[in-house]
């Protein structure tokens, strides 16, 4: 027997369908509102993008390519100016006081010129004593020679025994030996007297004077220092990597301190055969002209003329120095610059040599590189006529 649904269950069933319908209607309304909002926002964004201005170039630049040029090649170095040879002059006799000093620092002297005189009274007295001893030895030698001659004649006649004749002949030899000794002593005393005169061993300039009147002279003591021939040289310190480019006879140009940028021309005399194990530098000896303003002890910077060589160059305005490195700016197809690190070498006038990092056909920004950064947009203009 079928039972019919009660009025309450029918009411609930009708109420559930209504909620379901309301829910579906609400979802549809929300979806419609979202769709309208999304379309409106897209239109606003497109409008904003259309209203946004295009990117402006950071700078108007001209482009150039590196140039191949024939440049002089040089090697730079630092070093000290020194005397070619500096002679220490001292007394050869000791125990005597300096009686007179005849030169001072800066004096030009000739070879054999008297520089100082050492007291010679005692030496002169010894010389006179030696002269007297020599005269006595000569007299004794003459007497012994006469006795020997007489003994040789009378020995054959039986007036002298063989023993007596031998004694006389031996006395002659002894007298001759004493004469030779007296003459040697005489020569020694004459030499000592000559050594009381301190002479210049060569021509040059006195650079140091330590001699003082009244001081006691001793053998080996330095009294003066002489720059031989007034010759000066520059002793340049050249790195091991560049020493192979230096040859004797090369011309050198030196910049002296405090000379209003005056330069002194010299010539390489010799290159040291060894390299210092500590500094990894080698010495190069450069002769300087006698009339130059250089002075011993000066520190100078110089450049060796090593001939000429090809160079890839750019104006210095195209090279940016930053953080210890060198850069140029290459312009890409979209007119944006790219920073390129390069190696630099020689400088001449307003140009600089590029030794690494750049192809000769590459076009780079000519000037104003200090105002650019990697990736900046630029406007390329025609290069000015040069």
Q: CATH number, domain at 257?
A: 2.40.30.170
CB-count burial class (<10 Å; 0-12, 13-18, 19+) for 28 = exposed
Q: Residues with Cβ < 8 Å from 262, sequence gap 6 or more?
A: 256, 293
What integer pLDDT is reported at residue 53 of this predicted model?
Answer: 57
β-partners of residue 144 are none
Q: Residues with Cβ < 8 Å from 168, sequence gap 6 or more?
A: 144, 147, 148, 151, 160
Of 287, 308, 329, which residue constitutes the final position of a domain? Answer: 308
Same domain, 80 and 90: no
Backbone angles phi, psi at 62, to 5 degrees: -105, 150
Total domains in the fold of the chain: 3
What integer pLDDT is reported at residue 51 of this predicted model?
Answer: 47
What integer pLDDT is reported at residue 44 of this predicted model?
Answer: 52
Whether this model's pTM surpasses 0.85: no
What integer pLDDT is reported at residue 114 of this predicted model?
Answer: 95
Residue 2 within any structural domain of the chain: no
What integer pLDDT is reported at residue 2 of this predicted model?
Answer: 46
What integer pLDDT is reported at residue 8 of this predicted model?
Answer: 47
Closest among 279, 218, 241 to 75, alpha carbons compared: 241
142 vs 317: CA distance, rounded Å: 100
Same domain, 336 and 241: no
265 vs 292: CA distance, rounded Å: 9
Q: Is the dihedral of CA 370, 331, 64, 340 positive or negative?
A: positive
Residue 133 within any structural domain of the chain: yes
Q: Residues with Cβ < 8 Å from 278, sequence gap 6 or more?
A: none
Same domain, 239 and 159: no
What integer pLDDT is reported at residue 288 of this predicted model?
Answer: 93
Q: What angle do CA 263, 268, 273 make, to 5 degrees?
A: 140
SS3 for 121? helix
Residue 377 within any structural domain of the chain: yes
What integer pLDDT is reported at residue 54 of this predicted model?
Answer: 58
Same domain, 271 and 238: yes
Of 279, 308, 337, which residue constitutes the final position of a domain? Answer: 308
Same domain, 236 and 283: yes
Residue 334 within any structural domain of the chain: yes
| Residues 99/212, Cβ–Cβ less than 8 Å | no
CB atoms within 10 A of CB 223: 21
CA 287 to chain centre: 16
Of 308, 331, 365, which residue constitutes the final position of a domain? Answer: 308
Residue 150, Ramachandran bin (φ over 0: left; ψ between -120 and 50: alpha; else beta):
alpha
Residue 122 within any structural domain of the chain: yes
Which tokens sit at 283?
């010495």
In the predicted model, residues of the chain with pLDDT beneath 50 are 1-2, 8, 11-12, 45-47, 49-51, 385
> Could you say which DSSP state residue 317 is in?
G
């Amino acid at each position: 027997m079928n039972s019919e649904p009660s009025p309450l269950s029918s009411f609930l069933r009708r109420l559930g369908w209504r909620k379901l319908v309301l829910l579906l209607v609400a979802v549809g309304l929300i979806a419609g509102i979202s769709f309208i909002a999304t379309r409106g926002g897209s239109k606003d964004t497109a409008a904003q993008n259309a209203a946004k201005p295009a990117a402006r170039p950071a700078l108007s630049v001209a482009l150039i390519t590196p140039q191949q040029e024939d440049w002089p090649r040089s090697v730079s170095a630092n070093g000290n100016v020194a005397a070619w040879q500096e002679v220490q002059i001292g007394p050869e006799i000791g125990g005597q006081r300096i009686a007179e000093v005849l030169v001072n620092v800066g004096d030009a002297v000739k070879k054999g010129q008297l520089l100082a005189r050492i007291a010679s009274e005692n030496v002169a007295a010894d010389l006179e004593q030696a002269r007297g001893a020599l005269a006595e030895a000569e007299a004794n030698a003459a007497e012994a020679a006469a006795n020997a001659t007489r003994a040789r004649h009378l020995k054959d006649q039986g007036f002298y025994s063989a023993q007596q004749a031998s004694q006389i002949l031996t006395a002659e030899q002894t007298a001759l030996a004493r004469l030779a000794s007296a003459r040697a002593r005489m020569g020694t005393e004459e030499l000592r007297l000559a050594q009381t005169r301190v002479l210049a061993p060569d021509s040059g300039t006195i650079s140091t004077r330590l001699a003082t009147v009244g001081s006691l002279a001793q053998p080996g003591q330095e009294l003066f220092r002489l720059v031989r021939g007034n010759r000066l040289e520059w002793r340049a310190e050249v790195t091991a990597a560049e020493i192979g480019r230096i040859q004797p006879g090369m011309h050198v140009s030196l910049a002296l301190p405090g000379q209003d940028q005056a330069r002194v021309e010299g010539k390489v005399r010799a290159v040291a055969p060894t390299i210092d194990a500590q500094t990894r530098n080698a010495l190069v000896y450069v002769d300087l002209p006698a009339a130059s303003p250089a002075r011993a002890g000066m520190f100078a910077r110089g450049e060796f003329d090593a001939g000429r060589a090809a160079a890839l160059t750019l104006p210095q305005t195209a090279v940016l120095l930053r953080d210890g490195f060198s850069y140029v700016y290459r312009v890409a197809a979209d007119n944006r610059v790219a920073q390129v690190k390069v190696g630099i070498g020689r400088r001449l006038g307003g140009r600089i040599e590029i030794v690494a990092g750049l192809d000769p056909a590459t076009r780079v920004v000519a000037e104003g590189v200090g105002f650019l950064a990697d990736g900046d947009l630029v406007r390329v203009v025609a290069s000015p006529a040069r």
